[in-house]
Amino acid sequence: MKVDLIIQNGHILTMEGKGVGFIENGAVAIKGNTIQGVGTIDEIKRAYQAERVIDATNKLVMPGLIDAHIHTGIAIFRGVAQDMSNWMQKGLWPFQKHLRAEESVIGSMVNIMEGIKAGTTTFCDYDGRMDLIVENYRKIGARARVAELVNEIPDNVGDLPVGELYPFDSSIGNTKLKRNLDLYENHHESEDGRISVILGPHGPDMMSLELLNEIKAQGDKLNTKLHMHVAQGDREIDQMAKRYGKRSIDFLDEHGFLNERLIAVHLTEATNEETALVAKRGAGMIYCAGSIGIIDGLVPPVYHFIQSGGTAGLGSDQAPGNNCNNMFNEMKFAAILNKVKLADPRVFNATMALRMATIEAAKVMGIDHEVGSLKKGKKADIIIVNLQDPSFFPIYTKPIRNIVPNLVYSARGHEVETSIIDGKVIMENRNILTIDEISTIENAQKVAEEIAVRSEKDILEAKSDILDMVTEGLL
Ligand SMILES: [Zn+2]
């Protein structure tokens, strides 16, 4: 059979089965945007002839990584809210209140570039102006499963004293839900299915029960997932206690939100009983190890969630919280933080971390029939990783194999040389082919500097820990 592309002579991780699906000296055949065959080089050569062949000698061929939770729209504020208390109100908000939608889109593109350069091929992006940001994905050629961030709190909520109940405004909620529904209408399954849309309720504390119920009804009608922050911090628990006298998970269970439609992000404040309940009800979980580690100094109960039978994926969250949107970083953090939390080096092994950035994340997002592993019939989202980088040295394949531990604990993302998304080569020799990388960064830097000028008064008035550190000459 004639195909468009064969990648051959590489070690392959298919991520099929219960482990990593290792094939020594294998090959992958691709036609159009679809994988036609995966196997040993002899099997593939016998069955297929290709227009183009990529030699993957000394390379690793594997599914592209899935970033199951990212907010690229605020990437332009990376590094402004670290090592501080009240990071959102005092660090991020003084900048964010001056952000214009078009500036957010410009920053988002650099963030997507960052992900692609570290092997991410699917971005589950969740932002306030996804109607604009979605064009970045269209242009750069990445796979995206996007949601509009729906809440009904005024934009200036960051100006309220910490601890005060958020005011709800139903007209804001209606506008944002309409934007999410329009996004679905205009972009769902567009670009040959490369871009898909789900619903994005911001969190149970961020809107009235009426709006939450309306989103749930829309989710049932469209048969789609709800991507929602749940028990994401003490701020949320405090808001829920003040408004309803309940904790988030009890509240969501009582109102019928805990089911297979729900993608519960963070669960930072969930108790073990609450975590087990979310898993038992069939909802998925996204664990953002770097973000919650840096912002809150906490390790959410993801291991307990998985032990309770739940399916969980990894996400990099937002740049001003996490600092980097690199799934290699997430895999490593997830494994190490949980080993430390449980004081046991055997838990959260490298295979588990890698599965949570590939096939398990695809299951949580409801796209495992298309991506997350290399299998005949799935979309051709494939990365080729250079094993001759010092970070992979040495490679052993007998009597033990160390490629996966080296990938999770040592590699950093720069080892990814080639990225193929939906059958198209998007990055080759680390150059992204679909956009001009240098002018994209230069333009975004200029915009960031303009925002800093407009925000200066608010930044000074916030009297944040980071400002103190700058004043004291520590940064
Ligand atoms: Zn988030």
73 and 103 part of one domain: yes
Residue 88 is predicted with a pLDDT of 84
Task: Report the SS3 class of residue 161.
Answer: coil
Residue 157 lies in a domain: yes
Centroid of ligand 1 to alpha carbon of 93 (angstroms): 15
With a CB cutoff of 8 Å and minimum separation 6, the contacts of 167 are 153, 154, 157
188 and 138 part of one domain: yes
236 and 339 part of one domain: yes
Among 365, 391, 422, residue at a domain's last position: 365
Query: CA 363 to CA 373: how far, in whole Å?
Result: 11
Centroid of ligand 1 to alpha carbon of 290 (angstroms): 12
203 and 331 part of one domain: yes
Centroid of ligand 1 to alpha carbon of 23 (angstroms): 36
Centroid of ligand 1 to alpha carbon of 58 (angstroms): 37
Please state the pTM of the whole predicted model: 0.97
Residue 84 is predicted with a pLDDT of 86
Centroid of ligand 1 to alpha carbon of 270 (angstroms): 16
Bond into 301 cis (ω within 30): no
Residue 87 is predicted with a pLDDT of 85
**Any idea what DSSP says for residue 87?**
I
Centroid of ligand 1 to alpha carbon of 394 (angstroms): 37
Q: What is the CATH number of the domain that holds 45?
A: 2.30.40.10
Query: CA 274 to CA 279: how far, in whole Å?
Result: 9
How many domains, in total, are found in the chain? 2
Q: 82-92 burial by CB neighbour count: b if 16+ within 10 A, else e?
A: bebebbbbbbb
90 and 190 part of one domain: yes
C-alpha dihedral sign at 456, 440, 390, 400: positive
Centroid of ligand 1 to alpha carbon of 318 (angstroms): 7
Q: What is the CATH number of the domain that holds 198?
A: 3.20.20.140
Residue 283 lies in a domain: yes
Kind and range of the H or E run holding 102: helix 101-117
358 and 211 part of one domain: yes
Residue 41 is predicted with a pLDDT of 96
42 and 111 part of one domain: no
Residue 12 lies in a domain: yes
**Any idea what DSSP says for residue 261?**
T
Centroid of ligand 1 to alpha carbon of 11 (angstroms): 35
Name the residue range of residue 385's domain: 2-63+377-431
Residue 448 lies in a domain: no
Residue 475 lies in a domain: no
136 and 221 part of one domain: yes
- Determine the distance from the C-alpha atom of residue 436 to the mean position of all C-alpha atoms in its chain, rounded to a whole number: 23
Centroid of ligand 1 to alpha carbon of 306 (angstroms): 20
Task: Report the SS3 class of residue 80.
Answer: coil
Centroid of ligand 1 to alpha carbon of 151 (angstroms): 13
Query: CA 224 to CA 351: how far, in whole Å?
Result: 29
Residue 454 lies in a domain: no
193 and 223 part of one domain: yes
Centroid of ligand 1 to alpha carbon of 276 (angstroms): 21
Backbone φ, ψ for residue 230 (5° rounding): -135, 130
151 and 10 part of one domain: no
Centroid of ligand 1 to alpha carbon of 45 (angstroms): 45
Supply 123's token pair.
């971005």
Residue 140 lies in a domain: yes
Residue 156 is predicted with a pLDDT of 79
Q: Minimal CA–CA distance to 318: which of 80, 132, 66? A: 80
147 and 276 part of one domain: yes
Query: CA 361 to CA 314: how far, in whole Å?
Result: 7
Centroid of ligand 1 to alpha carbon of 202 (angstroms): 8
Give the chain's count of helices (H) and strands (E): 18, 17
Q: Minimal CA–CA distance to 10: which of 27, 33, 22, 35? A: 27
Look up tokens 């789900």; give the residue.
Answer: 198
With a CB cutoff of 8 Å and minimum separation 6, the contacts of 401 are 22
The rounded average pLDDT for each run of 10 residues, N- to C-terminus, in the chain (475 residues) is: 97 98 97 98 96 97 98 96 86 93 98 98 96 98 98 83 88 97 98 98 97 98 98 93 97 98 98 98 98 94 98 96 94 98 97 98 98 98 98 96 98 98 98 98 98 96 92 94
Query: CA 348 to CA 306: how far, in whole Å?
Result: 10
Please report which residue ranges of 318-419 form alpha helices under DSSP H.
319-322, 327-342, 350-356, 359-365, 403-409
Residue 216 lies in a domain: yes
Residue 118 is predicted with a pLDDT of 98
Residue count of the chain, please give it: 475
87 and 230 part of one domain: yes
Among 365, 389, 421, residue at a domain's last position: 365
